[in-house]
């Protein structure tokens, strides 16, 4: 694939998804990073930013907070908020909010996740909306307004049938909603 960076990047993107589906997050992230370098050499900053975001998502799964922060910084330097589509900005805000929540900065996490919710609604990105709602419930679980928490959970739960594609994805979405109900003490609803 020498001399064909677009094709090389496409193949690497497929390999990355396969590693992720196989549960090998480390290889998935390494492949995303290789794809980023290919995109940068080809002069495609938007494609490189996409790969960096994918790497950040995987690093979050691996609890590698330093890598997540690094990838978010690199995304900002490559495209900046003005160069991002609304959907991409929503995904960046979701990962930033998840990282802030993991690091214990709840107020920043809630602000980022609320931005992700607003942007994902505008973009019509239901998957990002789902995870942003679930993330905000998690961040606010101990100090949030119970009415708002239940509202966010209900909205996330309403998205599940729309998001169901693969059976394993469906189970994951339902499990996320059930866990958040449990976290706020709402044991009805369950499975």
Q: pLDDT for 113-136, tens place per residue?
A: 999 999 999 999 999 999 999 999
Token digits of residue 4: 């064909």
For range 96-125, the mean pLDDT: 96
> Is the separation of the CB atoms in 44 and 63 below 8 Å?
no
Alpha helices in the chain (DSSP H): 5-21, 25-41, 45-61, 65-78, 86-102, 106-123, 126-140, 146-163, 167-183
- Residue 120: closest CA among 85, 154, 145: 85
pLDDT in tens, 58-73: 999 899 999 999 999 9
What integer is the mean pLDDT of 83-93?
94
- What's the mean pLDDT when you consider all of the chain? 88
- Closest CA relative to residue 93, chosen from 139, 62, 53, 64: 53
- C-alpha 49/C-alpha 43 separation (Å) is 11
Q: Is the pLDDT of residue 184 over 80?
A: no
Judged against a pLDDT cut of 50, whether residue 191 lies above it is answered with no
| Interval 74-86: pLDDT, tens | 999 999 888 899 9
Position 5 scores a pLDDT of 81
What's the CA gap between 91 and 11, in Å, rounded?
23
pLDDT over threshold 70, residue 144: yes
With tokens 């961040």, the residue in question is 139
pLDDT greater than 70 at residue 141: yes
| CA 16 to chain CA centroid, nearest Å | 16
């Amino acid at each position: 694939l020498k001399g064909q960076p677009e094709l090389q990047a496409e193949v690497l993107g497929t390999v990355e998804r396969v590693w992720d589906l196989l549960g090998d997050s480390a290889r998935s992230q390494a492949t995303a990073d290789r794809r980023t370098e290919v995109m940068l050499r080809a002069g495609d900053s938007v494609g490189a930013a996409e790969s960096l975001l994918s790497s950040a998502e995987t690093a979050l799964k691996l609890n590698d907070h330093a890598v997540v922060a690094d990838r978010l910084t690199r995304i900002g330097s490559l495209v900046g908020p003005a160069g991002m589509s609304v959907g991409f900005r929503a995904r960046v805000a979701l990962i930033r909010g998840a990282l802030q929540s993991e690091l214990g900065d709840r107020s920043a996490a809630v602000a980022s996740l609320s931005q992700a919710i607003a942007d994902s609604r505008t973009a019509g990105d239901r998957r990002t909306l789902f995870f942003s709602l679930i993330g905000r419930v998690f961040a606010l679980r101990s100090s949030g307004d119970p009415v708002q928490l239940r509202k966010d959970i209900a909205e996330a739960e309403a998205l599940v049938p729309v998001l169901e594609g693969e059976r394993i994805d469906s189970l994951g979405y339902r499990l996320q909603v059930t866990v958040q109900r449990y976290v706020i003490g709402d044991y009805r609803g369950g499975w």
